[in-house]
Structure 1
């Protein structure tokens, strides 16, 4: 009986391991957008400035973000109100058809991920199947933070 239990446990662990590996390797273009924030309450409404966060001037800001090894870039325009992103627009710059497709899908997904969040909390990772374009967005966001904090 102990031998049968050990075989069942081994089989269950093997299935769990294979499932975890396959899930980690998945690269579906329909993958849900992801973002990370500096707080664990990424879906919560902003509750004011935390200690250590910079102050930002309200207004409209724009910057181009660079990413990748082939001089890829993407434009980001946003509106800040008390450090909160109230409006965002992403302008694809790609000329290659495949890259343009990734940038356009990324641009369509971004507003839902960042509007209503403090600019200091936003850092995007893989979004709408794109893992490179978020790097360009994050680069543009860094430039905007620097400009808005002056």
Structure 2
């Protein structure tokens, strides 16, 4: 029965990603506007930052987790809070930390768009690429996600 629940969650998550991707693509009307739309999620069996294999599905403790993710060369960071239920992200909250006006704008747009891209996804498949015109902030999100995976797998 538990395997069936996991399969149902994966199917539901895949459907949500498909709908999100279709909505993002439908909103693109010109190449100039493409930089402000979200891109599909990326997933892999290894974290690009560490090369370490991801934890097997179902090996995460349910609960709320928070981590700061770092990125870039100027000590940029962003706060990420996730709630996990059976390895699936059920809630996501992103907290911008930037003080520079331009960086803050990217982080705020990312913080608004990212939860819709990860809620309902397996925590192992929630790595983000370019989102809402930001290519650096997702690196901070992915760093925080890596830290949350480590904490939740203990």
TM-score normalised by length of structure 2 = 0.69
Unaligned 5+ segments in structure 2 are 1-30, 46-54
2:149 to 110, 132, 145: 145
Which residue in the other structure is 2:132 paired with? 128
Which residue in the other structure is 2:59 paired with? 55
Please say if 1:119 is aligned against 2:131: no
Alpha-carbon separation, structure 1, partners of 2:33 and 2:139 = 18
8 A Cα contact 1:57 1:148, kept in partner: yes
Q: State the SS of the aligned residue for 2:36.
A: coil
Alpha-carbon separation, structure 2, partners of 1:139 and 1:89 = 15
8 A Cα contact 1:109 1:128, kept in partner: yes
Alpha-carbon separation, structure 2, partners of 1:99 and 1:27 = 19
Please say if 1:100 is aligned against 2:104: yes
Please say if 1:89 is aligned against 2:93: yes
Structure 1 consecutive aligned stretches of length 4 or more whose deviation exceeds 4 Å: 25-28
2:40 to 34, 55, 58: 34
The alpha carbon displacement at 1:142 in A equals 0.2
Give the direction of change, closer, same or farther, for the CA distance of 1:52–1:60 in structure 2 (3 Å limit): closer
TM-score normalised by length of structure 1 = 0.71
Alpha-carbon separation, structure 1, partners of 2:115 and 2:89 = 9
8 A Cα contact 2:57 2:87, kept in partner: no
8 A Cα contact 2:91 2:119, kept in partner: yes
Which residue in the other structure is 2:73 paired with? 69
The alpha carbon displacement at 1:36 in A equals 1.4
- Which structure's CA Rg is the greater one? 1
8 A Cα contact 1:54 1:149, kept in partner: no
